[in-house]
Structure 1
Amino acid sequence: MPADPEFQDHRPRVAAERRARMRRRLIESAMVVFAQRGIGSSVIPEVIAAAGVSQGSFYNYFRTNDDLLEAVSDVLSHDMVQMIEGVAGDIEDPALRVATAGRLYLHLVRTYPIVAQFLSGTGFSLVGKKSAIYEHLPADIKEGVKRGTFDADAADIGLDMATGAVLIAVQRIANGRTARDYPERIVRVVLKALGVPAASAAKLIAAPLPKLVAPPESLLKAAQQKFAALAEASS
């Protein structure tokens, strides 16, 4: 006879939820520490202190700096892609899709300083599968070349060129104030380098763009709150 659901043992579920919360807590703290310190040295002691956990508890979840960095990068990339694709994912024109996604990405970086500092501090170590840039851009460029929207050369070097431009833009945003239209200017240059005529590029970056707001449960929101609290406490 099946057990009465009212009397089923919920301990495995509760334990799993507790582990998920602890892992998330460590990831949030790690993002803040990486943003402050970069990846030049071990951040594990600082993450343990920031999360307020024991060393033994920490090593139940992560073993190395690289494990931490990969976890933060995966969650951050997922959050950013979800937000950006919610706006750009259904756009039919690949050039407009690239323009919209690029602008949204850079505006998110500027809206959430923790993201700018984290990406700036980790730099080229995130170029590849862990970067939100690589989630959809290769396919968008390929489609644009196929349609004749982008130059054929863009199929080979477009991704590298766009990534380099974005990384430099992130560095500038992290290191100081930029003009209000800075994301648009960067994206316009990228579009032109991909082969889009100047007049068309200007129209693409002038399209209406919603302001993205990270949901409360996102890593962007939680880490930004911790980052801002630390900045206020030290001021």
Structure 2
Amino acid sequence: MTPAPAPASSPEPSRSHRRKAQTRAALIRAAQSFLAQGQTNMPVLEITQAADVGLGSFYNHFESKDQLFEEAVEHVLDLLGAVLDELTSDVDDPAVAFATSFRLTGRFHRREPQLSKVILHSALDLLGAQTGLAPRVRRDIQAGIESGRFTMTDVDVAVVCAVGAATFLGQLLHAEPDRDDAETTDRAAEALLRMLGVSADEARAICRSPLPELHTAELRGAVDEATIDGDAAR
């Protein structure tokens, strides 16, 4: 019997395609660096110089500087969200899953200050974002309400409190570098659990339990990889 042909593998990106993807990644890295410094008023030329690419290359990838900055933020949000999802994938208790994600996010602010500041620069846009952290917060809170784990039933108010707490927590940790980020984050997570309806003793126990390791070095590498892979899929 003639063996069935092996399934065709996805073709490797061409050299020119790879070069374009690397240019896109360089532009996004440059944008993230400017965002982390709170700088967004520079001309496109300054961004391309920081990325070490030609000015004309910019418009092969982005229609405007605003579009570049939006994508730079979305990459970090999506990648952090994916890491948190992976680290809580085997957690059955919605209260523990919610607290774990919040506690890890708090630690992320101190461990990865540049990526954290990229997110915090667009803090006012986080609540209404369709990707990244806010939809995951809503999902986890909704799961807690539907399971009866949380007694607070207004999902919108709960999301506002959780996203607002995560955002201002990051700003606090940057403003006070000597503050214990783990202790501060765990106290905030405990307060949120109590707001959602978890008893004081249980909320404290959950927020004092061991956490999975947040591999931030992998997250930094994934930023570059995602920009290249995303462009290859275009």
Question: 2:221 maps to which residue?
Answer: 217
Question: 2:188 maps to which residue?
Answer: 186
Q: Distance in 2 between matches of 1:170 and 1:210?
A: 20
Q: Distance in 1 between matches of 2:12 and 2:132?
A: 36
Judge conservation of contact 2:138–2:159 (CA < 8 Å) in 1: yes
Q: Distance in 1 between matches of 2:12 and 2:57?
A: 19
Within 5 Å, give how 1:74-85 maps onto structure 2: 74-85=74-85
Q: Distance in 2 between matches of 1:173 and 1:152?
A: 28
Of 173-182 and 159-168, more deviation after overlay is shown by 173-182
How high is the sequence identity, in percent, across the aligned residues?
27
CA RMSD of aligned residues (A): 2.4
Q: Which runs of 4+ in 1 moved over 6 A?
A: none
For residues 110 and 132 of structure 1, do their structure 2 counterparts lie closer, same or farther at Cα, with a shift above 3 Å needed? farther
Provide Cα deviations, 1:108-146, integer angstroms capped at 9, x if missing partner: 121001023222322212333366322422121111112
Q: Distance in 1 between matches of 2:72 and 2:196?
A: 31
Gaps of 5+ in 2: 1-10, 226-234
Judge conservation of contact 1:145–1:151 (CA < 8 Å) in 2: yes
Q: Are positions 1:101 and 2:132 aligned together?
A: no
For residues 148 and 156 of structure 1, do their structure 2 counterparts lie closer, same or farther at Cα, with a shift above 3 Å needed? same
How many residue pairs get matched? 212
Task: State the 1:43 CA deviation.
Answer: 5.5
* Paired letter, 1:17: R
Q: Distance in 2 between matches of 1:220 and 1:59?
A: 20
Q: Distance in 2 between matches of 1:100 and 1:92?
A: 12
* Paired letter, 2:211: L
Question: 1:129 maps to which residue?
Answer: 129
Q: Distance in 1 between matches of 2:70 and 2:110?
A: 22
Judge conservation of contact 1:149–1:196 (CA < 8 Å) in 2: yes
Task: State the 1:174 CA deviation.
Answer: 2.3
Judge conservation of contact 2:32–2:72 (CA < 8 Å) in 1: yes
For residues 156 and 220 of structure 1, do their structure 2 counterparts lie closer, same or farther at Cα, with a shift above 3 Å needed? same
Q: TM-score, normalised by structure 1?
A: 0.81
Q: Distance in 2 between matches of 1:204 and 1:57?
A: 50
For residues 192 and 220 of structure 1, do their structure 2 counterparts lie closer, same or farther at Cα, with a shift above 3 Å needed? farther
For residues 12 and 199 of structure 1, do their structure 2 counterparts lie closer, same or farther at Cα, with a shift above 3 Å needed? closer
Question: 2:229 maps to which residue?
Answer: none
For residues 43 and 97 of structure 1, do their structure 2 counterparts lie closer, same or farther at Cα, with a shift above 3 Å needed? farther
